[in-house]
């Protein structure tokens, strides 16, 4: 049962983070994080990632 609850919480957090990124929620927006260092140099970083900081709250 704990596994099911953890999976549900992760799903909800992911949904909220992506909704923030896509502008579907008025109270939040894109993540303020910088370009991840592990990305290859040829990868174009758009600068609008999932807002996990907001979703965790």
- Answer yes or no: is 14 within a domain: yes
pLDDT for the residue 4? 93
Output the furthest CA–CA distance in the chain (Å, rounded).
44
- Answer yes or no: is 23 within a domain: yes
Q: How many domains does the chain have?
A: 1
Per residue in 33-46, pLDDT (tens digit) is: 666 677 677 766 66
Coil, strand or helix at 18: helix
* Structural domain span for residue 22: 1-29+48-56
pLDDT for the residue 25? 77
Tell me, rounded to whole angstroms, the distance of Cα 28 from its chain centroid.
11
- Answer yes or no: is 25 within a domain: yes
What does the pLDDT average to over 19-48?
71
- Answer yes or no: is 40 within a domain: no
- Answer yes or no: is 21 within a domain: yes
């Amino acid at each position: 049962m704990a596994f099911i609850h953890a999976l549900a919480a992760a799903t909800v957090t992911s949904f909220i983070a992506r909704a923030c990124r896509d502008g579907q929620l008025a109270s939040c927006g894109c993540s303020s994080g910088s370009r991840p260092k592990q990305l290859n140099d040829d990868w174009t970083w758009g600068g609008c990632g999932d807002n996990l900081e907001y979703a965790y709250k």
